[in-house]
Amino acid sequence: MPRGLSNPGSAPEAALILAAQARDQAAFAELVRRRQGWVRALLRRMCRNDAEADDLAQEAFIRAWDRLADLETPAAFPGWFRRVAVTTFLMAKRKQKANLDSIDDEAVQIASEDSLPDSIAGARIDLQRALQRLSDGERLCVTLNHGEGMSHAEIVELTGMALGTVKSHCQRGTEKLRRMLTPEKA
C-alpha cells in the first residue's frame, strides 16, 4: 500500500498527481479542490445549464480517477484532464441524440438582435448569457477556441468534428458573440 502525502493541502500539483496515481484518495480530493473551478467553468460554458455542467464535471473527475494510470507525466495533466472533460461532455450530448455537426442553427434563437428579448437587445450582456444563446456546436467551439486558447486544428483533434465544421462554428459563434457583446451605437 503506497504511503499517502502527509499534507496534501500544501503539496505541489505534480506530487498530488503522482500520489493520486498510487490511489491516494486525499491527494485526489485536493486535486479536485484545486481544479474544480476551472473544469466546472469550462463545462458551464459548454452546457446550457449549470446543474448539468456540474454533473458532467463530477463524471469527468470520476473518469480521471479511474484512468489516472494512463497519464504519463504530471505536466500533461491539464491537457489530459481537459480532454477527459470534453469527451465526457460529447458522450453526454451523443446520449441526448444531439448531433453537433448537424445542428440547425436557424432553430436556435440568437441569429440576430431582433430575436433577443427587449431587455437584452441593444445592451451589453453578460458573456455567460450570450454563450447560452449559441447552438451547442458553436458554444463548444467558441469556448475551446477563445476560452481555452485552442487552435481550430486542436479542436478538430479533440472533438473529432470536421475542420470545416469547427471553422464555421467558431466564425458564426464569434460573430454572434461580438454582436451581442457590442453596445449599440446611439
Applying CB under 8 A, the residues found at the interface with another protein are 23, 25, 28-29, 32-33, 36-38, 40-41, 44-45, 50, 54, 57-58, 61-62, 65, 124, 127-128, 142-143, 145-147, 149, 151-152, 170-171, 174-175, 177-178, 181-183
Distance, in Å, from the CA atom of 128 to the CA atom of 171, rounded to the nearest integer, reads 18
State the nearest-atom distance from the C-beta of 56 to another protein, in Å.
12
Burial of 2 (0-12, 13-18, 19+ CB in 10 A): exposed
- CB nearer another protein, residue 44 or residue 93: 44
- CB nearer another protein, residue 117 or residue 149: 149
Single-letter amino acid, residue 82: R
- CB nearer another protein, residue 91 or residue 99: 91
Distance, in Å, from the CA atom of 155 to the CA atom of 158, rounded to the nearest integer, reads 5
- CB nearer another protein, residue 38 or residue 103: 38
State the nearest-atom distance from the C-beta of 62 to another protein, in Å.
6
**Sign, Cα dihedral of 52, 54, 58, 63:** positive
Distance, in Å, from the CA atom of 11 to the CA atom of 17, rounded to the nearest integer, reads 10
State the nearest-atom distance from the C-beta of 158 to another protein, in Å.
15
- Based on C-alpha coordinates, what's the Rg of the chain? 19
- CB nearer another protein, residue 17 or residue 57: 57
Determine the Cα angle at 40 with ends 128 and 86, to 5°. 95
State the nearest-atom distance from the C-beta of 72 to another protein, in Å.
22
State the nearest-atom distance from the C-beta of 136 to another protein, in Å.
18
State the nearest-atom distance from the C-beta of 97 to another protein, in Å.
27
- CB nearer another protein, residue 3 or residue 97: 3
Secondary structure element (H or E) that encloses residue 176, with its range: helix 163-181
* Contact indicator for 143, 111 with CB cutoff of 8 Å: no
